[in-house]
Structure 1
């Protein structure tokens, strides 16, 4: 199966290759107003930033949606290592939910949580739900759909068997989507001392390799 791979950690939240894309170039031309800075601290204190930024944000969202190929594009697999931890449940999963809610995640996306904790996927749903505020009944229904894109696999970060089990589940989902091309993104919501063993096993068992017939 062909595909692209990317590993992300808490400090590497974007791909270095993305800056050359048309969407990235368009985004780079937009002014940015940091809502956590006072007007005196802002680098663009001209009184019109909010209007410009709001227009620019909507334009960026539109460009991103157009680039997603939402319903017919490649399958995407997002794997969260450390899925049961605070970083994942308080930050990563709520962010993924927000992207899903706003149609900024392709429809053919599977989100796999991987951690040492022995728990069911229903328990993972409970962990995620504690840190997400839903505004109305429509969002509650949409959130239930989001949960159906989530899966959980238990395993160690230095043991081949856990990664083999993970990739068996991942491959089954990718094949069921009838996709010959799948993009995988790995997020390490882990302590740095576990990075080496985890990335070694990702390379051995999870990395998409392009084959030429």
Structure 2
């Protein structure tokens, strides 16, 4: 069975500034290790870390659960430079906080719970309800760095402070896919970019802020 660790700050084991780097080291020594942290902690951990210096987003896959509200999430493959074959898998989810997991209606609004699960195996991240792959993007030329990903996720969390059960995970995934694909000439191998009409105003603000951070290269 995989070793699953919840990394909710504060933690005596994973210091917030070293959590991702230590997780990568543990993945190398234990192929069954898997951990989940908040996206806010992920962004803090990436900054000035080994992952920020050497991590590159190789591919992005968007999945959808085939039951209930059809929850969607993103799985990223991140390679470590130089190209020595080392890679980690990162699953990004948006959902309601646990105390709001059974809202009264699909239009109820709550503070979102954005999480990142780190593993050395893609298969470990895909356990549970039956899934359908909705899109796959690769980055053959202009490769996003882990630092670029951190900037995008930080901006996204600031521009979307509320969670609605219906559509919000789909909006979250669509925004991540859209920005990485557009600004880094991502190649869509399968599927489409869906739900582009969800949250148009915040989507535009996120794209403008992200471009201002990664310019002039883009």
TM-score > 0.5, shorter chain as reference: no
TM-score normalised over the length of structure 2: 0.26
> Which has the bigger relative contact order, CA under 8 A and spacing at least 6?
1
TM-score normalised over the length of structure 1: 0.26
More helix by percentage: 1
More strand by percentage: 2
